[in-house]
Amino acid sequence: MTTPAVDWFALSPTLALLAAAGLALLGSVLVPHRATRVFSAVVCALGFVGAGVAAGLLYWKSPNATLEVADAIRRDRFGALAQIVLAGVGFLAVGISYAQRVRRDHIGEYYALLAAAGGGMVFLVEAQNLMTLFLGLEWFSICLYILCAIEIDRVGSLEAGLKYLIVGSFGSAILLFGSALVYGATGALEFGEIAAAIEQGSLQDDGLVLAGLAMLLAGLGFKASAAPFHMWTPDVYEGAPTPVTAFMAAATKAVALVLTMRILVTAFPAEEDLWTIAVAVIACVSLAWGNIAALVQRNLKRMLAYSSVSHAGFMLIAIAANNELGGRALLYYLIPYSAASLGAFAVIAARERELGDRVTLDNIGGMGWERPTLGVAMWIFMLAFAGLPLTGGFVGKFYVFAAAYDRGWWWLVIAGVIATAISLYYYLAVIRAMYMRMPAELRLAPAGGSPPREALLSASVVACAAVTVGSFFLVEPLIDLAEKAASQLPF
Amino acid sequence: MMGPDVSWYIVLSGFLFTTGALGVLLRRSPLIVLLSLEIMLNSANLALIGFARHLGEHDGQIFALAVMAIAASEVVVGLGLIVAMNRSNVELDVDKLTTLRG
Amino acid sequence: MIVSAWICLLSPLAAAVLITVLGTRISRKGAGYLTALSVFVSFISALVALFVLVREEPEERSHASTLWTWLSAGEFEVGLRILVDPLSLLMMLIVSGVGALIVAYSIGYMHGSDEERRFFAYMGLFVFSMLLLVQAGDLLILLAGWGLVGLCSYLLIGYDQHRPAAIAAAKKAFIMNAVGDATIALALFVLVQQVETLEYGGVFGRIDEVGGDWAMTLVALGLLGGAVAKSAQVPFHTWLPDAMEGPTPVSALIHAATMVTAGVYMLVRLNPIFEEAAGIQDLAAGIGAVTLLMAGLIALVQTDIKRVIAYSTMSQIGYMFLGAGLTSYGNGMFHLMTHAFFKALLFLAAGIIIHALVMEQDIRRMGGLRHMLPRTFAAVLIGGLALSGIPPLSGFFSKDSVLAAALDAGLYGQILWAAGLVGAFLTALYTFRMIFLVFGGEPSPFVREHLHRPKLDEPSMWMAWTVGALALLAVVGGWIQIAGVWHPLSDFIEPVAESHVEPTLAQDILTSVLAVALGLAGIALAWWLYSARRRAVPRLAQGERVLERKLFWDEAYDLAFYRPATWIAAYAYRFVEQPLIAGSIKGLTAGARLLSGRTTDVQTGLLRTYVLALGSGAALLALVFLAVRG
């Protein structure tokens, strides 16, 4: 038996982030105490830049999809485009995190874990067999468990970490058991071989395959926080440090959905009639649950958590469509959605640091006037979430609906439109709260005066807003990229 | 090939998986919950190894080895969290972890 | 050349954005200079484009350029696409040239008023929107420009936010124009459905494929609705006189020289569509004739100097509609151009008078100004003569060529020709009524008391030289085309819009003689009635009252739309809205809140609930899968 050839280029985004993680960890030991924050943040940001550049090159140089490293990963544009999005998310997350009050001796670890989680994610979107799938999933999940709980002096943070860990491990165990069942039935780990084995052995009705598929779906739905597997989401989003929440909301969901599409399309084309319906139903449940639960939330982080559940529903519509249009729609949707999520949580983080308290609809009042840049940006993000024009959210929903319609599932389109209408209520409530209430009405709880305005955070927010709006105006090139990427999946 | 049929392994692993799941559902101590999670992961390992043996391939066994490593690191993180909670005087009872809700 | 066309388009936008972003960091006057400069840059760019274009073969003078494509679905593309050809270039030159002069004039006129920056930002935005309209490479961008100029018009009419009249006028203009925008949008829906593209070339090439006359008629009718609303033709004309509430430079730029002529531009630009629906084209010509007569009559009794000029604008656009409707595109555009010169001149000169008389606009209180404002008098006289079509001023050449073309267009054309001649008489009459009342006779008590002689300071100089430049244009502007002898302008437009009427020299001469004679008769009558001797004007009390009420159009609209609408609204509110809608919404909200509360009840914060949901979800999925296949 020979050692498999390793395509280092295909792994380069992962390697860049792993190197950054290692360096940041080393830095927390070797670099003088005063400089650890700057050092580790810069190293982490550079890691994400490196990963983004590498992923860009990978996209450019992979006109044809190939299986690499003993067929464990698939080097294709679908993965590369997702990697670019993830690298962007990670980079901006560094800017948002910079001024977060993390205990000084944890700063190096914080950025190391951020880079490592990013590494796991960019690895995972290339995964092409059940083993790399599980490894990648756990890789970034474990990093996130720690990140959630990194503010160990705060009970909420610890609680979020432990809840995420336990429910997450439970989900992983389900996913792993499902993988084992599929492996047992087909004798294959690689997605393409699984599809071939099901096809050749006529295993469509095999109990092991069916149960395995269901468990895989549940495990992935958990990571994407699709209802009814979403229940951890609001608690963890609320308890985790806000920059971590921002990163999770954008990146975890992106990874989980991209992977769901990849595995379903590549490994289970023979079960298409089953999983498309299942995904469509999960999408509808997510839309309904996420939107309805968001209606009564006063805590902004919880509200956005439920909103992220409903957006998982929108993106699942694209997956349920099971066509190239759906692939294109999913990849495009991720761009404005990630930018808007990151940005919205960043604005919340800014307010949180001002008040030293959790941000609710009541105490965000007047922020639009006090910090006009952040106010306008938040406005943009909410419009993007609601899918209104002049933001990429509009185009994203348009493409998602187009994909569902193309499949002939107009009822999914109707569900999506109703969900959009409901969501306007709570998204606009945020804008109203920011602008329509005078600060005089408020009982502010300032934490020792107003903190200095953070240039990095503002810059990240502006960048997010620029992406959100820019993705509307630059639809054509972006959708072109997404189309090329989606065409490499075997629809 | 000697030994029991593969279906026995599957039944056993299914039994273990259910046991673990029930443990997570029913027990209150986070330590026991972590233990139950380990049982779930290991039941999957058993299934993987059983299948690999049945199919006469190695990749399932390699998978199982990787899973063991991951399970170990998960437990490390979990134990670390439990220690941190203990230090912050949080009662070690998963039913009391309800400050985040709604 | 394409580059210069883009510069032409984007330069005023850049100025508007810059002023907005800089806020108070730019001085008030600086904002004016910036906008004027940007529009002047546009004009120079348009000139450059012209020089490049005329060197090409006439057939090749059409260049499309797409800055970026926003969306494409099959052949249907949405993007920022412009088209540079003789027609759009002519409009670019008029818009940016006259626009630059008027913006420069505003530096003086607006000096010292509040919020000058806002004014100039709006002006920059308007010039951009108008250029977008004329440079548009497809119907969607045309519609975008169409809507944007309507918005700018709204903003500028209501510029003086403290006067309720200005606000009301702004709303009226916006709503009337919105009706037109809507009919265009509907026409575009039908068009896209029929030919699957909105790009000019594509549409014109596929007009034959349109199934059924009704579709073509519907499209043309919808487009005409927009043109009529924008150009203040009957029956959508009532907003234009009210729009005079805006500052005078706005009236000159938007409501005389450029925006209101957009309807004519559309008739010419989309001529293949209108020719396919010939009935609609005739309708356009008829609307023009009706409007020019009606506006001429109403103008006879108006007392507000700007409203007199506004009605004359309506009537002159009527001539352009008449020409464009009878396929005499070149002459219609020619009249559009000369009209832009002399009408802008008249408005700007009126602005000087209004300025000098502390914002008084009632001509009955004026009089004898010829001695006090001699140069302004000269300017108004040039404008008035040009408007009345007296040779050798510009209006003579363009108006007469439009009328002569009508004579060649069959019986229908001849009827319209006669109406146009009557209109020429009315034009001269009301124009010189205004001139004699304002400038003739002895200074009125009001004038003696309130006149401020313009000081020769810097702001006034801006007003003076721009009016002088426009006066020059109003004199010589018509010489580039002399009916029957030489017609470079029509030839220039020919590749885009081919005229189907070709009047003979005899028809030209007949028309000119009659029109000039009638014009002179009108002046003579005005002199006899309103000159120094101030005869008792024969009074037709009833008729005059009808005219003073503007033929009851406003009342008719009130009766036809407003009253029924409020009535229906009141009843609908009482019997539908309150019990049904409000009730059901209350119920729905309560239901949603209840449901929402339930979902949060499920979210107990207990780990075991979450694990249970996850586990049972997975089990349920597996069971369903097995059951379906089992």
Q: Do A225 and A217 contact (CB within 8 A), yes or no?
A: no
Question: What are C434-454's pLDDT values in tens digits?
Answer: 998 888 878 888 888 877 776
Neighbours of chain A (3+ CB pairs under 8 A): B, C
Which range, A79-83, A294-298, C274-278, C541-545, is most confident? A79-83
In this model, does residue A441 exceed pLDDT 60?
Answer: no
In a 10 Å sphere around its CB, with 0-12 CB exposed, 13-18 middle and 19+ buried, how is residue C586 labelled? exposed
- Per-residue model confidence (pLDDT) at position A447: 47
Residue A392 — φ and ψ, nearest 5°? Answer: -65, -20
- Per-residue model confidence (pLDDT) at position A153: 86
Count of CB contacts below 8 A, A vs C?
100
Residue B99 counted as domain residue: no
Give how far the C-alpha of residue A27 lies from the chain's centroid of Cα atoms, to the nearest Å: 28
What ranges in C477-504 are assigned the alpha helix state H?
488-493
Residue spans of the domains in chain A: they are: 12-441+455-486
- Average pLDDT over every residue of B18-46: 93
Most A CBs within 10 A among C588, C612, C614, C620, hence the mutation to make, goes to C614
- Average pLDDT over every residue of C483-501: 81
Give the Cβ contact number of residue C114 at 10 Å: 13
In this model, does residue B93 exceed pLDDT 70?
Answer: yes
**Smallest CA–CA separation between A268 and chain B, in Å?**
20
Residues of B in contact with C608 (CB under 8 A): 24-26, 94-95
Q: Do B44 and A180 touch (CB under 8 A)?
A: yes
| Cα–Cα distance for residue pair B44/B57, rounded to 1 Å | 17
* Nearest Cα residue in chain B from A150: B81
Most B CBs within 10 A among C600, C602, C607, hence the mutation to make, goes to C607
Q: What is the CATH number of the domain that holds B28?
A: 1.10.287.3510
| Cα–Cα distance for residue pair C148/C169, rounded to 1 Å | 18
Residue C70 — φ and ψ, nearest 5°? Answer: -80, -50
Q: Do A221 and C630 touch (CB under 8 A)?
A: no
In this model, does residue A207 exceed pLDDT 80?
Answer: yes
**Among A102-111, A256-265, C469-478, which stretch is predicted with the lowest mean pLDDT?**
A102-111
| Cα–Cα distance for residue pair A291/A81, rounded to 1 Å | 29
When CB atoms are compared, the residue of C593, C602, C624 closest to A296 is: C593
- Per-residue model confidence (pLDDT) at position C355: 84
In A310-361, DSSP assigns E strands to none
Q: What is the SS3 assignment for C52-97? A: HHHCCCHHHCCEEEEEEEEEEECCEEEEEEEEECHHHHHHHHHHHH
- Per-residue model confidence (pLDDT) at position A454: 79
User: By C-alpha distance, which of C343, C396, C403 is closest to C516?
Assistant: C396
**Smallest CA–CA separation between A391 and chain B, in Å?**
31
Count of CB contacts below 8 A, B vs C?
30
Average pLDDT, chain C: 86
In this model, does residue A137 exceed pLDDT 80?
Answer: yes
Residues of A in contact with B89 (CB under 8 A): none
* Nearest Cα residue in chain B from A303: B102
Residue C277 — φ and ψ, nearest 5°? Answer: -110, 75
Q: Do C611 and A204 touch (CB under 8 A)?
A: no
Residue B96 counted as domain residue: no
**Among A174-188, C409-423, C584-598, which stretch is predicted with the lowest mean pLDDT?**
C584-598
- Which residues 6+ apart lie within 8 Å of C307 measured at CB? C241, C244, C299
In a 10 Å sphere around its CB, with 0-12 CB exposed, 13-18 middle and 19+ buried, how is residue C206 labelled? middle
Residue B102 counted as domain residue: no
In this model, does residue A368 exceed pLDDT 90?
Answer: no
- Average pLDDT over every residue of A110-138: 95
Neighbours of chain C (3+ CB pairs under 8 A): A, B
- Label residue A442 by pLDDT band (50, 70, 90): low
Q: Do B99 and A134 touch (CB under 8 A)?
A: no
**Smallest CA–CA separation between A44 and chain B, in Å?**
22
Residue B79 counted as domain residue: yes
When CB atoms are compared, the residue of C71, C613, C621 closest to A231 is: C613
**Smallest CA–CA separation between B94 and chain C, in Å?**
7
Interface of B with A in 4-63 (CB under 8 A): 6, 10, 13, 17, 20-21, 24, 30, 33-34, 37, 40-41, 43-44, 47-48, 50-52, 54-55, 57, 59-60, 62-63
> What are the residues facing C362 on neighbouring strands?
C304
When CB atoms are compared, the residue of A179, A187, A239 closest to B100 is: A239
Residues of C in contact with B97 (CB under 8 A): 605-607
- Label residue C100 by pLDDT band (50, 70, 90): very high
**Smallest CA–CA separation between C592 and chain B, in Å?**
16
Most C CBs within 10 A among A295, A299, A309, A424, hence the mutation to make, goes to A295
In this model, does residue C624 exceed pLDDT 80?
Answer: yes
Residues of B in contact with C607 (CB under 8 A): 33, 94-95, 97
- Average pLDDT over every residue of C342-361: 88
In this model, does residue A149 exceed pLDDT 80?
Answer: yes
Residue A76, CA distances (Å) to A1, A328, A478 in order? 27, 14, 17
| Cα–Cα distance for residue pair C346/C385, rounded to 1 Å | 11
Question: What are A319-359's pLDDT values in tens digits?
Answer: 999 999 999 999 999 999 999 999 999 999 999 888 888 89
- Per-residue model confidence (pLDDT) at position A69: 86
Count of CB contacts below 8 A, A vs B?
128
When CB atoms are compared, the residue of C593, C617, C628 closest to A229 is: C617
Give the Cβ contact number of residue C338 at 10 Å: 25
Q: Give the containing element (helix H, strand E) for A75.
A: strand A73-75
Three-state DSSP class for A74? strand
Sign of CA dihedral C540, C545, C548, C550: negative
When CB atoms are compared, the residue of C597, C618, C628 closest to A174 is: C618
Give the Cβ contact number of residue C583 at 10 Å: 11
| Cα–Cα distance for residue pair C330/C340, rounded to 1 Å | 15
User: By C-alpha distance, which of C352, C376, C377 is closest to C452?
Assistant: C352
Residues of B in contact with A155 (CB under 8 A): 88, 90, 99
| Cα–Cα distance for residue pair C263/C325, rounded to 1 Å | 11
In this model, does residue A443 exceed pLDDT 60?
Answer: no
**Among A156-160, C107-111, C610-614, which stretch is predicted with the lowest mean pLDDT?**
C107-111
- DSSP for C261-306? GHHHHHHHHTHHHHHHTHHHHHHHHHHHHHHHHHHHHHHTT--BHH
In this model, does residue A414 exceed pLDDT 60?
Answer: yes
Give how far the C-alpha of residue C518 lies from the chain's centroid of Cα atoms, to the nearest Å: 29
| Cα–Cα distance for residue pair A350/A344, rounded to 1 Å | 10
In this model, does residue A445 exceed pLDDT 50?
Answer: no
In B46-99, DSSP assigns E strands to none
Q: Do C611 and B24 touch (CB under 8 A)?
A: yes
When CB atoms are compared, the residue of B21, B25, B101 closest to C604 is: B101
In this model, does residue C19 exceed pLDDT 70?
Answer: yes
Q: Do C441 and C534 contact (CB within 8 A), yes or no?
A: yes
In this model, does residue A17 exceed pLDDT 90?
Answer: yes
- DSSP for C311-376? HHHHHHHHHHHHHHHTT-HHHHHHHHHHHHHHHHHHHHHHHHHHHHTTT--BGGG---HHHHSHHH
Most C CBs within 10 A among A159, A289, A476, A480, hence the mutation to make, goes to A476
Question: What are C374-400's pLDDT values in tens digits?
Answer: 888 999 999 999 999 888 888 888 888
- Per-residue model confidence (pLDDT) at position A438: 60
- Per-residue model confidence (pLDDT) at position A196: 94
Average pLDDT, chain A: 91
**Smallest CA–CA separation between B98 and chain C, in Å?**
5
Q: Do B25 and C612 touch (CB under 8 A)?
A: yes
Between C494 and C317, the higher pLDDT residue: C317
User: By C-alpha distance, which of A310, A384, A298, A296 is closest to A343?
Assistant: A384
Omega prior to A228 cis, within 30 of 0: yes
Instruction: At A78, list the tokens.
Output: 């679908």
- Per-residue model confidence (pLDDT) at position A1: 58
Largest CA distance in chain A: 75
Omega prior to C164 cis, within 30 of 0: no
Q: Do C32 and C147 contact (CB within 8 A), yes or no?
A: no
Q: Do C629 and A235 touch (CB under 8 A)?
A: no
Neighbours of chain B (3+ CB pairs under 8 A): A, C
Q: Do C605 and A167 touch (CB under 8 A)?
A: no
Q: Do C614 and A167 touch (CB under 8 A)?
A: yes
Report chain A residues touching chain C, CB-CB < 8 A.
163, 166-167, 170-171, 174, 204-205, 207, 210-211, 213-215, 217-219, 221-222, 228-229, 231-232, 234-235, 274, 278, 289, 292-297, 395, 422, 473-476
What is the residue range of B42's domain?
A: 6-89
The one-character DSSP state at C137 is S
When CB atoms are compared, the residue of A218, A228, A295 closest to C592 is: A295
Q: Do B84 and A158 touch (CB under 8 A)?
A: yes
Residue A335, CA distances (Å) to A86, A331, A396, C143, C331 in order? 9, 7, 9, 30, 53
- Label residue C211 by pLDDT band (50, 70, 90): low
Q: Do B25 and C605 touch (CB under 8 A)?
A: no
Q: Do B81 and A149 touch (CB under 8 A)?
A: yes
Q: What is the SS3 assignment for C588-630? A: HHHHHHHHHHHHHHHCCCCHHHHHHHHHHHHHHHHHHHHHHHC
Question: What are C531-568's pLDDT values in tens digits?
Answer: 755 555 666 666 677 777 777 777 887 788 788 888 88
| Cα–Cα distance for residue pair A266/A185, rounded to 1 Å | 17
In this model, does residue A446 exceed pLDDT 50?
Answer: no
The number of distinct structural domains making up chain B is 1
pTM: 0.81
Q: Do A222 and C614 touch (CB under 8 A)?
A: yes
**Smallest CA–CA separation between B14 and chain A, in Å?**
9
Q: Do A212 and A178 contact (CB within 8 A), yes or no?
A: yes
Q: Do C615 and B94 touch (CB under 8 A)?
A: no
Question: What are C242-299's pLDDT values in tens digits?
Answer: 888 888 999 899 888 899 999 999 999 999 888 888 789 899 999 999 999 999 988 8
